[in-house]
Amino acid sequence: MLIVFWMSPLAAQDTFQLAPPYMRYGSVFFKKQTQVRIEFAHPGTQIHYTTNGLEPTQKDPVYKRSILIKNQRTTLKAKAFGEGFHPSEIVEATFFKQGLTIEGISTTLPHERYPGTGKLTLTDGLGGIDLYSSKTWMGFQKDTVTIMLTTAKYQKIKQVMLHAFQNQGAWIFLPQKVEVYVPIKGTNEWALLVQKSMNTAEKVDKSRSYGLLLDLEDQPKTSQLILKIYPITQLPEWHPGKGNPAWLFIDEVKVY
């Protein structure tokens, strides 16, 4: 990277803040393991990082070589430090294993402006890009989005993960509720297994991608699941577009 520092709005008159490091990786989704490179070029500085979700300090490991990611979910955070400079802002990314093989998927039709690459957008492992114009995202303006999954085998299911995007300035909000249903054996009906509600109308200045994990306490044996996703119905009062429908952007669904 050529840009190595900038003037911090909070910095003293003659003190500069280091620019954030740059993480280089293929996708936040991986099959068995993935490697992450962190780039930053300025003499006398070091990159410290964490994989436990905490903010890096100078007591944490120094980045020297590519970081190997193997766990089901890992949040990597990095920060540049240098004598005579204010530390950089934190850069972070959360990585997810691909999970169980999803053999079939159907979904509510996305908006024509944001179709992704079709329904396989949700299982191709190419998502996690913090740019809503990327074709890895499917965009919806619906009261409810329904996704039906069929796994390759009849097996015990422990978790479901929905990966969504948040960019409130672009009217993109995380869902307010997600429900998971499983079929009731011997019937054509479905049982609500778990639901998770979130207060997604609070103001957040930073855009981000977010993996919403739902733990299935009963861990049912099944090959079919239905996810019902409920976007916020109207933009909140504090938003310049208040009263208008919000966007829901999703790019991956994982089953573990």
In tens, the pLDDT along 16-75 reads 899 999 999 999 999 999 999 999 888 889 999 999 999 999 999 999 999 999 999 999
DSSP at 246? P
This model's pTM is above 0.95: no
Tell me what the mean pLDDT of segment 222-251 comes to: 95
Q: For CATH 2.60.120.1190, list the domain ranges present in the chain.
A: 98-255
Note whether 253 and 227 are within 8 A (CB): yes
> What average pLDDT does range 131-137 have in this prediction?
92
Assign domain 5-96 to its CATH architecture: Sandwich (2.60)
Is beta strand 67-69 parallel, antiparallel or unpaired with respect to 34-39? Answer: antiparallel
> Which stretches of 99-220 are assigned E, i.e. beta strand?
102-107, 138-140, 145-156, 159-166, 177-183, 190-197, 208-215
Q: Classify domain 98-255 at the CATH topology level.
A: Jelly Rolls (2.60.120)
Six token digits for residue 2 = 């050529």
Query: What pLDDT score does 2 carry?
Result: 44
Please, is 231 exposed, middle or buried when counting C-beta atoms within 10 Å of its C-beta (0-12, 13-18, 19+)? buried
Tell how strand 16-18 and strand 85-86 pair up. Answer: parallel
Whether the CB-CB separation of 22 and 91 falls below 8 Å is answered with yes
Would you state the pLDDT for residue 1? 45
Using CA atoms in the order 60, 12, 90, 18, what is the torsion angle rounded to 10 degrees? Answer: -80
Q: Where are the domain boundaries for CATH 2.60.40 in the chain?
A: 5-96
Mean pLDDT score, 219-227: 95
The residue with tokens 């307010």 is 176
Neighbours of 57 (CB within 10 A): 11
What pLDDT is stored for residue 210 in this prediction? 92
Q: Extract the tokens encoding 79.
A: 């920060």
Q: What residue type is assigned to position 242 of the chain? A: K
Strand order, beta sheet including 73-82: 29-30, 91-97, 73-82, 45-50
Return the SS3 of 96.
Answer: strand
